[in-house]
Amino acid sequence: MRLFPYLARLFVVLLAITMIPAQAQQTGLSEQQLRQLMQMAEYIGVDYSEAVADGEVINTDEYTEMEEFAQLLMDRGQQLPDSPEARVIRAEALALQGAIARKASLAAVQKHTARLRQGLLSIAPALSLPSALLSLNESRALYRAQCTSCHGVEGRGDGPLAAALEPAPTNFHERERAENRSLLGLYDAISNGIDGTAMTAFKNLSEQQRWSLAFYVGSLAFAGEAPAEEGSEPSLQDLVMYSPAVLRSDRPDLSVQSVAALRADPSALFSKVQNGSEAPLEVARAQLQRSLAAYRQGDYANAHTLAISAYLDGFELAENALDSVDADLRVATERALLGLRAQLNAGSDPRRVEAQVQGILEQLTRAQSLMADSSLSDAALFIASLVILLREGLEALLVVIALVAILVKTGRRDALKFVHLGWIGAFAAGVATWVAAQSVITISGASREVMEGLAALLAAVVLFYVGFWMHSKTRTQEWQNYIQDSINRSLSTGALWGVAGLAFIAVYREIFETILFYQALLTQTSATQYNALWAGMASGAALLAVLGFALMHYSARLPIGKFFSATTYILLGLSFVLAGKAVAALQEAAWIGITPLPVAFSFDWLGIYPTWQGIGLQAAILAAALWLILSNHNPDRAALKSV
């Protein structure tokens, strides 16, 4: 059992992949630095016309500021670790600096600032969207209390201090400026200020107050716009992250009038936000549309990243609820989203990609319609809630029960505290990770799948090893005597901490995802249906408890040789299941390629999915397990090993 002492160290590395903020893993720059760079790029695109006109400098101070910001974008771009996204950012920063140097047209500069900002957005952590704003009257009162001295009572840049300021305060009623300013840029300016201007940071305001101010001043130039009767609407995420000009350029499917109307009054979008995040299918739709826009621009790396996010940060979280309504649609949409990734490259047929994306969007629309119409019946909600807990908890339960049974059967009840320490610690860590993901750190869907995949792979290796070790102790009375006489030496303190580590890994990898699935299920639950959701959860917990009790009771009655033999099969089976799930999770996170089998099938409970990579690894485990089992029945080999 000498493998166990290494588990704790391996898990620390595994946990770090999830707990380290995404920007620290990918960019080498903090989230605030990335947001400042996005703000600079947007500021250049908005204010360039104040510095240059018809190829001539018309404001030296403004032009100098443009040059300084462009140089800073160049310098920070060089700090990024090499990646396709970083190369795009550096290329656009260089092109922007060149355009400013030759006093290019506003359109040319805005083209580079838009691409630069999109590149920065692709590597930045997922944005935490506001869940609610202050009322219009409260926002207006807040604006007049904080902003009128510079920007004026109506937001026209004509406050009492405006005449003495250079550059002059923004006139929020200028439509052209507003068309090129995102709500995120306004929020960041309010939160962090703008270097080289009189705009200071409003750190004294709460996050909700700053978002409310951003939406309020961002609405002034669009006042009176009415929603379009036809055409797609942007998601809240798109409305916040992109300016109307960028949305108009990159998202021809959107209604220009709807974008303007939502800038004027975004209240309709906030009805779609629940529990601090957009409904999963809304996220999937928004990320998929952004992926197509990046593909059209030739930014294939970003298109691929966004397509992964469409599945992991959106659709996957709605799978359990959709399964209760239309399982076939869930399977078809999942396969389409995973298959799209392979087409997002320079060698693909654009018409085919467009058709694939359109097909997926239609599937998402159908899923939204079905889920909205059904609103999940109490029975469907009960089943979905039960299945989530039962499916996610079964593997963890089997590992923990096997570890407990081994210790009890070998007379080491004193060591049970290590198993309990492992699973209780995993439960606490899982909840803490989820809480941190809501407010402190960013854990993307890709990071979550990587964590789950590596944890499952590590657990599969350890379980196969333990199964092999146990199988080797069941052949003869001599080996059973060895178990009784030497178990205390075998389960040393280091090995017992390894037992705790295995229990921790088995439970932790399930806890966080279980919470996310229930959070997504809540978006389909009305206030009158909470009893059905809790009843499903309670029933799932009860079934797991009954199963655990039955397994413990049965294992206690088995002779030690048969117990070790039976446990061997359970552990080898769990290794088979977890290996398949590990490959599937890493494929979803794009760490491993996907080569589909000619026949489509899947058995989620067994971890069997229709890809050569997963089937290949499971076949290897199955072959090794069969060799191990058959070799035990070979009299010659058994005789040799008993000498």
pLDDT at 323 over 60: yes
The pair of three-digit structure tokens given for residue 34, joined into one six-digit string: 């990335």
| Cα 505 from Cα 421, distance rounded (Å) | 12
Q: What is the pLDDT of residue 147?
A: 93
* Closest by CA position to 585, among listed 456, 431, 392: 456
Q: What is the pLDDT of residue 3?
A: 43
How would residue 447 be classed by pLDDT, with cut points 50, 70 and 90? low
| Cα 409 from Cα 487, distance rounded (Å) | 11
* Closest by CA position to 389, among listed 548, 502, 544, 506: 544
Mean pLDDT of the chain, nearest integer: 76
pLDDT at 2 over 50: no
How would residue 18 be classed by pLDDT, with cut points 50, 70 and 90? very low
Position with higher pLDDT, 89 vs 132: 89
| Cα 160 from Cα 354, distance rounded (Å) | 53
| Cα 420 from Cα 427, distance rounded (Å) | 11
How would residue 394 be classed by pLDDT, with cut points 50, 70 and 90? confident
| Cα 108 from Cα 110, distance rounded (Å) | 6
Average pLDDT in the 417-434 region?
A: 78
Average pLDDT in the 177-206 region?
A: 87
Which residues, in sequence order, are CB contacts of 293 under 8 Å at separation 6+?
Answer: 250, 251
* Closest by CA position to 474, among listed 621, 614, 642: 642
pLDDT in tens, 515-565: 766 766 665 666 667 788 788 888 888 888 887 787 777 766 655 556 556
Average pLDDT in the 394-413 region?
A: 72
Q: What is the pLDDT of residue 635?
A: 46
Q: What is the pLDDT of residue 217?
A: 94
**What are the angstrom distances between the C-alpha of 266 and each of 132, 137, 205, 216, 233?**
10, 15, 21, 10, 11
Contact 292, 354 (CB under 8 A): yes
The pair of three-digit structure tokens given for residue 591, joined into one six-digit string: 């760490």
Q: What proportion of the chain, given as a percentage, has pLDDT over 70?
A: 71
Residue 456: count of CB within 10 angstroms of its CB: 27
In the block, tokens 């279980």 appear at 514
pLDDT in tens, 26-50: 455 677 778 888 888 888 988 898 8
DSSP letters along 548-562, please?
HHHHHHHHHHS-HHH
pLDDT at 218 over 70: yes
* Closest by CA position to 125, among listed 451, 434, 443, 446: 443
Q: What predicted TM-score, i.e. pTM, was given to this entire model?
A: 0.49
Q: What is the pLDDT of residue 612?
A: 85
Q: Residue 280, preceding bond cis, omega within 30 degrees?
A: no
| Cα 212 from Cα 69, distance rounded (Å) | 28
pLDDT at 238 over 50: yes
How would residue 56 be classed by pLDDT, with cut points 50, 70 and 90? very high
Q: What is the pLDDT of residue 172?
A: 94
In the block, tokens 């029945």 appear at 633
pLDDT at 13 over 50: no
| Amino acid of residue 45 | G
Burial class of residue 543 (count of CB atoms within 10 Å of its CB; 0-12, 13-18, 19+): middle
Among 44-53, 109-118, 193-202, 387-396, the minimum mean pLDDT is found in 387-396
| Cα 258 from Cα 560, distance rounded (Å) | 71
Average pLDDT in the 580-590 region?
A: 76
* Closest by CA position to 559, among listed 489, 480, 463: 480
Q: Residue 232 carries which DSSP code?
A: B
**Phi, psi angle pair for 232, to nearest 5°:** -75, 155
pLDDT at 442 over 70: no
Q: What is the pLDDT of residue 222?
A: 93
pLDDT at 574 over 90: no
pLDDT at 7 over 70: no
pLDDT in tens, 239-269: 888 889 888 887 777 778 888 988 998 887 7
**What are the angstrom distances between the C-alpha of 1 and each of 175, 232, 353, 408?**
70, 60, 51, 17
pLDDT in tens, 129-159: 776 788 888 899 999 999 999 999 999 999 9
Average pLDDT in the 45-62 region?
A: 89
| Cα 346 from Cα 471, distance rounded (Å) | 52
Average pLDDT in the 305-314 region?
A: 82
How would residue 94 be classed by pLDDT, with cut points 50, 70 and 90? very high
Average pLDDT in the 604-629 region?
A: 82
